[in-house]
Amino acid sequence: MENNVTGMDELLAGYAAGTLSYPAQALVGAHLELSGRNRGYVSSLETLAGMDLDGAEPVALSDRDTALSAIFSSDGPLIDEISSAPLENDMIARGVPRSLQSIIGPSMNEVAWKGLLPGVRECRFGEIDGCNTSLLWVRGGRALPSHTHHGAELTLVLQGGFSDEDGHFVTGDIAFADGDVDHKPIADKGEDCICFAVTAGRLELTGPIGRWFAPFIS
């Protein structure tokens, strides 16, 4: 489930318009790969956007050669290129959606996990397009410390599931969190949970145990 219907609609609209940050655009693309729930809605938004473009007057592009050169010399692949790339069967088995492969890599086998807490590992990819990006692995049944956020956070479940005060999230679901949310996610029992997170601010541990661990995981 998505825990914020309005926020999800705005997120999907931003994806269709191509106005999201690069990692958020990739996260939503992976959501659409893993879950069919919003594919029809996004397709409708893209169709409407295309109709608006068809009816718009053409605008001259100044310095066309320079603009095209900048596009083709870009270090990072465009989202559309990622989405249309062929996906090999072994990549599906290892759980890396093609929309995220430019950030995570082609397989989970190459992820450089770092122990964060007992039963919790993290892999940080650093700041991309103004957002912090990371993978989080939580052993089945294990809880994360209570925390809140200084800024918005999007979390996509890639494997397993977790529950918090806002509900239960399974593979393909997106969870929203911000400074108004103070939660303690708990991974579902019986299967490890792996999530991809995009944050626009830092995390703040709020529980007594979490504050004790804070110096070690900041």
Predicted local distance difference test score (pLDDT) of residue 211: 44
Q: How many domains does the chain have?
A: 1
pLDDT per residue over 166-210, tens digit each? 789 999 999 987 756 566 889 999 999 999 999 886 665 665 544
Strand 167-170: give its sheet, edge to edge.
167-170, 161-164, 186-187
Output the average pLDDT for the chain: 75
Residue 38, amino acid: N
- From 200, 202, 167, select the one nearest 186 (Cα to Cα): 167
Indicate whether 44 pLDDT > 60: yes
Indicate whether 66 pLDDT > 80: no
- From 199, 209, 175, select the one nearest 126 (Cα to Cα): 199
In this structure, what CATH number is given to the domain that contains residue 61? 2.60.120.10
> Helix/strand/coil (H, E, C) string of 113-155?
CEEEECCEEEEEEEEECCEEEEEEEECCCCECCCEEECCCEEE
Predicted local distance difference test score (pLDDT) of residue 184: 80
Other beta carbons within 10 Å of 7:
15
> What angle, 0 to 180 degrees and rounded to 10, lies between the N-to-C axes of helices 5-17 and 22-34?
110
Predicted local distance difference test score (pLDDT) of residue 165: 79
Contacts 24+ apart (CB under 8 A), 87-96: 95/158, 95/159, 95/194, 96/158
Query: Domain limits at 130?
Result: 1-218
Predicted local distance difference test score (pLDDT) of residue 180: 60
